[in-house]
Amino acid sequence: MVPNPLALIVEVTHRCPLHCVYCSNPLELAGVQSELSTAEWTSVFQQSGKLGMLHAHFTGGEPLARTDLTELIAAARSAGSILQRTSDSGC
C-alpha cells in the first residue's frame, strides 16, 4: 500500500516580476487564466487534508502575485497544514 502524502507543493502561480536567467518557470505557458481559482485550491486543500497532508509549501512563480493568497493560506491552515513559503529569491 502506498502511504498517504505528507506534503503538498502549492504552485499557486507562474507569474513573477523577476526575470532570473536560470528560471525554469514556464511563464509563457501558464498565464492568469490557467491558474486554479480560490475555490479550486480550497478543494485541493480539503482533499489533501483528508489524505493526511501535514505540510503545504507555497511557491510559484511569486505567490504574492495572487491577490487571494491570504484566503489560500487560510484554507490550507483550516485543512490542518503547516505552511512554508518560498519567495521570489527563494526559487
Which residue, 3 or 22, has its beta carbon nearer to ligand SF4?
Answer: 22
Residues 13-32 that bind ligand SF4 (CB under 6 A): 16, 18-20, 23, 25
Which residue, 16 or 53, has its beta carbon nearer to ligand SF4?
Answer: 16
Handedness of CA 46, 81, 75, 16 (dihedral sign): negative
Residues 31-90 that bind ligand SF4 (CB under 6 A): 60-62, 88
Coil, strand or helix: which one is 35? coil
For ligand SF4, which residue has the nearest CB?
91
Strand order in the sheet with 82-85: 7-11, 55-59, 82-85
Enumerate binding residues for ligand SF4 (CB under 6 A): 16, 18-20, 23, 25, 60-62, 88, 91
